[in-house]
Every structure is written in C-alpha cells, then in structure tokens.
C-alpha cells in the first residue's frame, strides 16, 4: 500500500473533475479524498495498491472530458488508512 498527494493545475474546476475523480477512485478501489482549492487547483489524497495508484494518477493527468490538465504535482505521503473516497466541499 502507498499514498500520494496530487495537486492538479489547469482547467480543473467547473468541469466535474471532483465528481469524476471520486467515481474513478471508487471503481478501482482507491481511498482518500478530492477537493477544490481557492487557487483553482484540485487536490487529491489517494491510498491503494501501487499498481492501481499508477493507473489512477495517469487518469488524473488527463481528467474528465472538458478538463485541461496543465501540470500535476505528485508527492508520496504516509498512509492515513482512509475509509472510502470522498469529495470534500
């Protein structure tokens, strides 16, 4: 198990990025959270098996239809043993 913190830059708010990220995470077994930041970025904390996390991060690099991801910051973090995946408002 691994955990990563992602900060996603670009046109990522107002395009259902949080909802799509949550649906994708739940579908593939990732736990953690997603939220919008005041600076226009989207923040994701994701925990799971490394192979699945790699697939999830690759998806985040593109995002849902309508998103235009310009850059993604990725940092490994300690596990928090999250339960489920949630959207923080």
Tokens 């923080």 correspond to 88
| pTM of the entire predicted model | 0.94
Residues 7-60: pLDDT tens digits? 999 999 999 999 999 999 999 999 999 999 999 999 999 999 999 999 999 999
Cβ burial, residue 58 (10 Å; 0-12/13-18/19+): exposed
Give the pLDDT confidence score for residue 28 in this predicted structure.
Answer: 97
Which band of pLDDT confidence, cut at 50, 70 and 90, is reported for residue 87? very high
- The predicted structure's pLDDT at residue 71: 97
Contacts of 45 (CB under 8 A, 6+ apart): 3, 4, 5, 6, 32, 33, 77, 80, 82
For residue range 39-51, list pLDDT tens digits in order. 999 999 999 999 9
What does the pLDDT read at residue 86?
98
Give catalytic residue positions: 18, 36
């Amino acid at each position: 198990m691994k955990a990563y913190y992602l900060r996603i830059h670009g046109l990522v708010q107002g395009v259902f990025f949080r909802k799509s990220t949550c649906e994708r995470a739940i579908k593939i077994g990732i736990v953690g959270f997603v939220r919008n930041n005041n600076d226009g970025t989207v923040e994701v904390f994701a925990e799971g098996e490394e192979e699945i996390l790699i697939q999830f991060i690759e998806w985040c690099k593109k995002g849902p239809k309508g998103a235009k991801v310009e850059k993604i910051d990725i940092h490994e973090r300690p596990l928090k043993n999250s339960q489920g995946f949630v959207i923080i408002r």
